[in-house]
Chain A
Amino acid sequence: MSDDVAVLGVGMHPWGKWGRRFTEYGVVAARAALADAGIDWRAVQSVVGAETVRGGYPGYVAGASIAQALGWQGARVTSVYAACASGAQAIGTARAQILAGLADVVLVVGADAAPKGFFAPAGGDRPDDPDWLRFRVLGATNPAYFGLYARRRIAVHGDTPEDFAQVKVKNAAAGSLNPNARYRARVSAEDVARSPVVADPLRLLDICATSDGAAALVLSGLDFAHSHGVSEPVRIRAVSTVTPRYPRTELDLPDIATDSAAAAAPPGLGLRPSIAAAAYEEAGTGPEDLDVAEVYDLSTALELQWYEDLGLCPAGDGAKLLREGATSLGGRIPVNPSGGLASFGEAVPAQAIAQVCELTWQLRGRAGDRQVAGASCGISVNQGLFGHGSAVIAVR
């Protein structure tokens, strides 16, 4: 396929919470990816940084700050922000540059130093910002939305808090095998049930933490990869960065209400399934072709939702798929073999890139104890608030 790009190198800084500058993490990840690729930083023609915005100022101006920290060498620079989907947009930007012939080798980096506690909007009196409004008017934190989705699943699909806990148990077991994960202890369903309720029906161990961390990729065209001596690189075959279609009838962060479906019929697919559908269409694949998936488990219940939105099972059968063990390591379609957000915590601009690092290790057969046997096609998927779709399909 001529529209593939090669993943020459991947690298991460382990996830944790140290409060250091985000560039420190980013440089470690970038150097690891460059070393993995066998590419000298000075030969990189473009750097794309996935950024985060805190305190009302895009202070972590990602691409340039990372380039400066690695040592200015004149590369073309891009910084992108799309909340949790920032990393996918950075990958999409790098791919477009490569396919357009603007660059042979592109470094993609996402790094974050997360604040303590709930994510909060920028300060000041800003009633024109939906993110500010949901906190001011409702006190609706991110976990509040996760709680709403989880309760809805219980009511509509018959999921139970025990099902949700089993997602954590599964992901913690995988994460215990991942040296880059922040949380490496195994967790039992009893541990989850003993943790305090944060947003009914979800408990602390159902909800992902916020973390420091960084991930990086070195991407190139296939011709460059071949001339660089890599005959069978992991290839990125699709990058989905779709937006919702009007009227949007699923309540999403940071909105206080959905669109009205009274005057216009809702689209056939909501945002989450449409993210996957666009990726499948671009790659010429479907859920039946997948060997492995990395999904955005902001909460345990949300992971079950992704099973259905990816088409791994019919709507409402997410918990059944989990109970069957299909999504565990060794199952039919392991989901989050990295350990997922449950084991990492969220480092917003790095997370979608970290998902692709994991896919790459899996497709190379270098994922160690958490290897999915014979993996040749994988998908990563997530969603950034305000309506940012994000998915990557990688093959080998």
Chain B
Amino acid sequence: MARERVPVVAGWFGGEGEEFRLTGTRCRSCEAVFFPREDAFCRNPECGGRELDEVPLARRGRVWSYTDGRYRPPAPYVCDPEREWQPYTLVAVELAAERMVVLGQAAPGVGVADLAVGMEVELVPGVLNEDEEHLWMTWHWRPVTEGAL
């Protein structure tokens, strides 16, 4: 039986394939954008709005910085303690229209040597961890292949 695909956090991303996006919210009064989403109130001190709508964030951005995790992080990060630790790469990405920086893991196989500050990256769906019944889904950043649209 196929395992169920479950987002690691509900409501933070959605869409399939090319349409995959992080999901933020935008204040109806001042147009401030929030990710992770704020649903109850706007955090702009000039505003005080209470009505926010879902908004997809840009699919592409530029690398603000990056690093990796050479040692196994503690729980609640999920990993198999029996298996040798495989470092993962973290990328902080600047989204031009939203003027914000969003962290994410890099797609599998992307190491720090493959990245540079300012490089264009795009959002892709990825699997954070799996168990017998679920694939826990997340977002990954991946360098934009040269020439690709």
B102 interface contact, C-beta 8 A: yes
Q: Which residue of A lies closest to B71 (CB)?
A: A198
User: What are the interface flags for A135-160 relative to B under an 8 Å C-beta threshold, 1 for contact and 0 otherwise?
Assistant: 11111110010011111100110000
Asked if B76 and A261 sit within 8 Å, CB to CB, the answer is no
Which secondary structure characterizes the binding site on chain B? loop
Give residues 118-149 of B contacting A (CB, 8 Å).
118, 128, 138
**Which residues 93-113 of B sit at the A interface, judged by CB distance below 8 A?**
97-105, 112
Say yes or no for B6: interface residue by CB 8 A criterion: no
Interface size class for chain A?
Answer: 35 or more
For the complex, give the distance between the alpha carbons of A259 and B35 in Å.
8
Q: B75: CB under 8 A from chain A? A: yes
The complex places the Cα of A141 from the Cα of B27 at a distance, in Å, of: 31
Interface residue range, chain B: 35 or more
Q: Would you call A256 and B64 a contact (CB within 8 A)?
A: no
Check A121 against B76 for contact (C-beta < 8 Å). yes
Within 8 A of B (CB), among A251-290: 251, 256-264
A260 and B70 contact, CB distance less than 8 A? no
Say yes or no for A197: interface residue by CB 8 A criterion: yes
Most B-side CB within 10 Å, residue of A120, A136, A141? A136
**18 CB < 8 A contacts A-B:** A118-B73, A135-B77, A136-B8, A138-B105, A144-B67, A144-B69, A151-B117, A202-B67, A249-B101, A251-B92, A259-B43, A260-B32, A261-B100, A263-B27, A263-B32, A263-B33, A264-B30, A264-B44
Whether the pair A137, B9 counts as a contact (CB closer than 8 A) is yes
A132 is an interface residue with CB less than 8 A from chain B? yes
| Contact A257 to B69, CB < 8 A, known contacts A136-B76, A262-B31 | no
Residue B23, interface by CB 8 Å: no
**Is A135's CB under 8 angstroms from B73's CB?**
yes
Inter-chain contacts of B20 with A (CB < 8 A): none
Q: Are B92 and A246 within 8 A (Cβ)?
A: no
* Nearest CB in chain B: distance from A266 CB, A: 8
- Closest chain A CB from B118 CB (angstroms): 7
Within 8 Å of chain B (Cβ to Cβ): is A368?
A: no
Q: Once bound together, how far apart are the Cα atoms of A123 and B45, in whole Å?
A: 33
Q: A249-B99, A263-B30 are in contact. List 7 more A-B contacts (CB 8 A).
A: A118-B73, A135-B77, A136-B77, A139-B79, A200-B66, A251-B101, A261-B99
Known: A117-B74, A139-B73, A262-B100. A257 touches B67 (CB 8 A): no
